[in-house]
Every structure is written in structure tokens, then in C-alpha cells.
A and B are shown apart, each in its own frame.
Chain A
């Protein structure tokens, strides 16, 4: 069921291939269209009531820029603060090391089950699969994560991972996998079923695993933003808590929450504030876990950091506003991106994290019409179109420079080289214009072109093409205004 994604070994399917499948799934199209349109409208309202939104965005961007330029210092400060507050900090170079550390902690406590609160970082490392191989069962406790875990599927949205499933599908799944009887398809009945199932798990769990939305260098405070209360359960009830975070999630000071805790809820769930946010600082005597481990993971992030244009990608606070406004995402859904990070942000983050050279991630920067809607809503002002264009350049140059002799014959490359030469010389250019007029006659029928050959056939699959007119503008100019 699970397809290979960008973070698994082996080649990944391209966006174009995967999108084809999603685009013809009418149920998915309907669910996505409805969901993204609703949340888009609500976000606009939530942001609209903030007269200082642009000021907050700029502060958020600048704070993140400050962090990225001095990430080493902030991480060292974070480690010191967490340690002082009674927590233990671990460093993981890659996914495998992170998984090994976490599994080690779970085994040290003799636990065979863990409860987890939604964490994309652990999806990135495929932690659940790793734990399973070590004989540890991980229970996802976020409702949507539970749904997709039970269905054996992968997330299709950063914030609403089961956005592709409707109530009837979920009802069937719960009846089959949780043994629920006489279940209606009302969201409240379905939610109640999950509540009862998971309450037992929360009370019994000895280890909780979470991600982190932010971690404060100054105080060592870690923050999880959520709605359901499963985050509070996982970070409060089990005696041992392990948090996995990407190194880019650090923020300088406690007071900086005044920026991010305004930007994040309105951008992500379109709420003034999400129902629950937990902030914990190491271990508190008599309150919550007795042991706290914070795992700081690189896994490709320093490669992103090294790219001066790509660096801003690390500003991302995972709000998913860019997904909801993206006209491409709205139609293809998240699975087409073959990554735990879908949508516009995924299209720039994934190829940078895994590196150029795999056809799947390499296709992602092209999964955009460069309409710019994502940049407009990004709460930390990541110029996604700019990074997309930059990465397209990297992908193209990688192919040109490392693709060998076959690349020289790649039709796109050949066409682009030819056209570039033509555009560099006005005489050649005018000759080409005339040639196009002559060359099109086999395709023009009754005043329009209905079918083009080769790679251009994609255009005429659904669109007519006007033939090249008999007189170019410059010819008209010469005739009517005389050459200057």
C-alpha cells in the first residue's frame, strides 16, 4: 500500500506521474476542493482582523533569519537551557541516528508501546517502522494520524493528514479496525470512538513521543501546538517524554512566542488561537514526565542552510497555509508529492533535504505554475516562487553537467539551447518567426491547431492553438512606422 517516498531508499515517482492518478480520483478532488476552500476563506477572515499582520510577518521572518545565521550558537544555548532544566539533549546527524536514539530510550524503560503526538519529523525518519522492527508499537493519537495509521496510508496534508478521506470511509475503517459496532458516520460519533480507544492507551503508556513546534534557546522551553488534547496527554501523562525536533525549530527567546503564537494559529487552522498549546521547560517536580529527552536532528537541514537562497525554507513553521491556497495542491492533493512534506513548501523543502538527483524530488520544483499565492500567505515570508525557480536551475544544471552524452540529446534541452540561440540574434529570430508560419501548416485546420506532436501534445490535449499570424508585430511596425 505504502509507496516509496522521497525519504525512502530508491527512486521516487515523479510528480507528473503521481498527479495523473490523483487528478482522476473524483472523491479526492471533491474532499480537497471543499476543505481547502473552507480553510482559505476562514484564514482570510482570521488574518483580516489583525491590523498588525504585516508587522508580525516581518518580525517572524527576521527572527528566523537571525536564528539561521547563528544556528550553532542557538542550539548550544538550547542544549544548556534544557540540561539546566533537567532534560537531556541528544544530537542526531540523520534519520537513522534519530530513530536509534529514540528506540534506545524506549527500550531502556522496557516499554513495548508508545503514544505519539503528530510529528512530521518522525514521519520523515519513518520512526514508527523503525520501532516496529525493534518490537515497539507506536500509537498515533492525533485523530487524523490514527485514521491514516489504521488505513495503512500516508499523510496527504501537513495539518489535516486525512483530508483525502470522507466520513463514510472513516466509519468503515473504525468498524473494521477498532471493532466499533453500530457506528454512525457523524464526525462526533467517530471522534468519540477514537477518544475511548485512545484514552486507555494514554493512561497505560510509559513513554510519550512528540515533535516540537518551537524550542526556546534562552529558557529551554519546548512547545507543542494542537487542538485535540492528545498532545497534552502525550507530553503530560507518560513518565518519560521524548521529543524529536529538526534543528531549525529553535527560536531565540521566550518573548518571541508573542510573534509566532500569533502567526501560527491564524495561518494554520484559521483560529485566533488553537485550543491547546503546551509549553514545558525540562522536567517539573511533581508535574508531568519525570524524564525528558530532546533529540536535535539534522537530516539534511544543514544542506538547506548552506544554500543562501534556499536557506529561507528553514523559516517554515509548518502552518500549511501555502497548501491551502495552492491551486496545484488543491487539485492533486498531497500524495502526488511523494513526500511527508507536500504542497508548495514540500516542493522546495523535499528536494533540498534529500538532495538533487532523484527523479521524484527533482520534479517537485516544477509542480507549480509560479502563481505566487503561497508567498502571499506565508506567515514567515518564505519567497517560495523564488526558491522554486532557483531549484529548477539546480536540477537543470545537475542534469546538464552530470547527465552525460544522453542529456545532450534530451529534447527539452535541445529545444531550449536552440531557442536561446535564436533569441540572441534578431535576424535568426525573425527567420524563425517566418519558419513557424510555414512549418505550422500540417497542423492548422480551419483556423486553429488541434493537435501538436511530441512533448507539445500536452498543450493540445485540451486546448486549441491559434495559428501563427501572417504578419508579426515587427513586420507591421516596419511597414507602418518605418524602421528607426
Chain B
């Protein structure tokens, strides 16, 4: 199978290691990965902050660039939910019937990584080895918009050497919320402090999730407090292998 990787502007710029890990996992499973270099951003930040007029050209670009692929895979629940759940609203806003049609055709083919692996490929064991104590934070958009369900936990459960610990009140938002973290910095910080407390309660070394945006926020707090707890995107854990192979 040949898929297009939608890296997301955020990962491309700030978390290239997540992109490399995604490519590694997909290729390990025999998937041929293509990376359309014209891609930039899905327009989520603009759209969700209210700059919807400004988001429309980005929506159009996305639809044109990824048109025709069998599947589009992204290591971000949030950006995928923008495409799948909010592009129809964006097309309505643009009042463009043709765009709406293209969106309708494209959006079911766009997958978040864990959901692609488990639901599309039917793979729950990617042959990873990761000997660390890990806790998983289900990001809001993966859980409530995309309904990826237990896919990430199934994948993590089959990672060799992992000590997976449950996060309490896991379903509560970490407080990132895109521009919310800046516009409502105080409330965001209050939400973050509770998430950090729960992560620390697990005594995990690593907190993982399917979105680097949430992880940057959680990791930023964990780092500022010098907790010694790291964050790693799900893809990076799945890409890890034993040194000796």
C-alpha cells in the first residue's frame, strides 16, 4: 500500500524525530510512504482561533495536495480531526460546493497513525522494544473527535519491555487547546498542573500521546519543574527497537 504522510507543520518544524519515527514504523510494516513536499499546514490554528477566512486557502491547498492517495496518515489526532471533522464546516463557510465534494471524498481517507495501524492495517504489534515505565495521555481530539478508542493502548500493550501504567482522570484535557494556551494562559496552566500531578503519580519515566502539541505543553511543564519525566510521541515508542535487533 502506498500512503501519503501528512507530517503537519508543527511536527515538521519542531518534532522531526516524530516524522522519522512514523516513516520507520510504516516502512517496517511494508507500507510505501510518499511525502508531498508542497504540504504546509491544514489550517487548524487559523480556523479554530476564528481566522476562518484565512484558513480557507489552506484547506484548498490541503485538499489539492492530498487528492488521489489511497490513504493519508498523520502522527497527530488534532490535525486529522481538523480535516475529518471541521473541513466540512470550512467548506460550508466558504460556500463552495465543489470544495465540499472534494472534502467529502478525501476526509474518510485521512487517518491518525494509531488508528491507521490498528483499524486500517489490522496491526497491533509493530515489533517495538521500549524498556521504560510509560503512561499514556489520550488527547481530546483523538479520543472524542476521531474516536480512536483503545488503538494506541493496544499498540503500546504489545511493545516489548514496556511497563505501561494507567493515568488517572486520563480523559481530562491537559489544557493545551492551541491558542487557548496563550489566550487563556492562566486557566491553561491550572489544567496543566493537575495533569502533571497525575502524570507524576504514575511514577512513569515517559508520558506519551498521539499529539506533539499536547506533549509540548505537558513536557514543557514537566521540564520547567525539573521532574525528570520525559515526553515522547507514540510513534517514537513504536519505532524503537532493541539495539541488537
> In angstroms, how far is the closest chain A Cβ from the Cβ of B49?
6
Contact between chains at A395 and B20 (CB < 8 Å): no
A347-391 near B? 1/0 per residue, CB < 8 Å: 000000000000000000111111111011000000000100110
Contact between chains at A328 and B191 (CB < 8 Å): yes
Chain A interface main SS type: helix
Contact between chains at A331 and B181 (CB < 8 Å): no
Whether A62 is near chain B, meaning CB under 8 Å from some CB there, is no
Q: Which B residues are in CB contact (< 8 Å) with A424? A: 40, 57-58, 61
Q: How far is the CA of A190 from the CA of B11 in the complex (A)?
A: 57
Q: Considering only CB atoms, which chain B residue lies closest to A398 in the complex?
A: B50
Offer 7 A-B interface pairs, CB within 8 angstroms, sorted by A: A397-B50, A468-B13, A469-B16, A473-B15, A474-B7, A481-B23, A484-B35
Chain B interface main SS type: helix
Stretch from A156-164, A267-275, A458-466 at the B interface: A458-466
The A-contacting residues of B in range 154-193, CB under 8 angstroms, are: 171-173, 175-193
Q: Which B residues are in CB contact (< 8 Å) with A327? A: 172-173, 175, 191
Q: Which A residues are in CB contact (< 8 Å) with B19? A: 473, 476-477
**From B20, B49, B54, contact of A392 by CB (8 A):** B49
Q: Considering only CB atoms, which chain B residue lies closest to A392 in the complex?
A: B50
A441-484 near B? 1/0 per residue, CB < 8 Å: 00000001010000110110111111011011111111001011
Whether B87 is near chain A, meaning CB under 8 Å from some CB there, is no
The A-contacting residues of B in range 15-33, CB under 8 angstroms, are: 15-17, 19-20, 23
Given contacts A366-B184, A369-B191, A462-B192, contact A420 B46 (CB under 8 A): yes
Q: Which B residues are in CB contact (< 8 Å) with A368? A: 177, 180
Whether A149 is near chain B, meaning CB under 8 Å from some CB there, is no
Q: Which B residues are in CB contact (< 8 Å) with A416? A: 46, 49, 51, 54
Q: How far is the CA of A221 from the CA of B189 in the complex (A)?
A: 48
Q: How far is the CA of A379 from the CA of B159 in the complex (A)?
A: 39
Q: Which A residues are in CB contact (< 8 Å) with B182? A: 455-456, 458-459
Given contacts A372-B141, A473-B11, contact A331 B51 (CB under 8 A): no
Whether B229 is near chain A, meaning CB under 8 Å from some CB there, is no
> In angstroms, how far is the closest chain B Cβ from the Cβ of A19?
5
Q: Which A residues are in CB contact (< 8 Å) with B187? A: 16, 19, 23, 328, 331-332, 367
A4-27 near B? 1/0 per residue, CB < 8 Å: 000000000001100110010000
Q: Which A residues are in CB contact (< 8 Å) with B16? A: 469, 471-473, 475-476
B53-67 near A? 1/0 per residue, CB < 8 Å: 111011001000000
Q: Which B residues are in CB contact (< 8 Å) with A433? A: 12-13
Q: Which A residues are in CB contact (< 8 Å) with B51? A: 393, 396, 416, 420
Whether B68 is near chain A, meaning CB under 8 Å from some CB there, is no
**From B13, B58, B216, contact of A420 by CB (8 A):** B58
Contact between chains at B40 and A19 (CB < 8 Å): no
Given contacts A386-B89, A463-B192, A464-B220, contact A474 B186 (CB under 8 A): no
**From A19, A417, A450, contact of B54 by CB (8 A):** A417
**From A328, A396, A423, A456, contact of B43 by CB (8 A):** A423
Q: How far is the CA of A373 from the CA of B171 in the complex (A)?
A: 9
Whether A426 is near chain B, meaning CB under 8 Å from some CB there, is yes
Contact between chains at B47 and A389 (CB < 8 Å): yes
Whether A91 is near chain B, meaning CB under 8 Å from some CB there, is no
Whether A257 is near chain B, meaning CB under 8 Å from some CB there, is no
> In angstroms, how far is the closest chain A Cβ from the Cβ of B52?
4
Whether A436 is near chain B, meaning CB under 8 Å from some CB there, is yes
Whether A429 is near chain B, meaning CB under 8 Å from some CB there, is yes
Q: Considering only CB atoms, which chain B residue lies closest to A448 in the complex?
A: B223
Q: How far is the CA of A473 from the CA of B7 in the complex (A)?
A: 8
Contact between chains at B61 and A369 (CB < 8 Å): no
Contact between chains at A16 and B186 (CB < 8 Å): yes
Contact between chains at B40 and A429 (CB < 8 Å): yes
Q: How far is the CA of A43 from the CA of B188 in the complex (A)?
A: 25
Whether B101 is near chain A, meaning CB under 8 Å from some CB there, is no
Contact between chains at B223 and A463 (CB < 8 Å): yes
Q: Could you say which of B23, B54, B180 has the most chain A C-beta atoms within 10 Å of its C-beta?
A: B54
Q: Which A residues are in CB contact (< 8 Å) with B188? A: 369, 458
Q: How far is the CA of A290 from the CA of B17 in the complex (A)?
A: 76
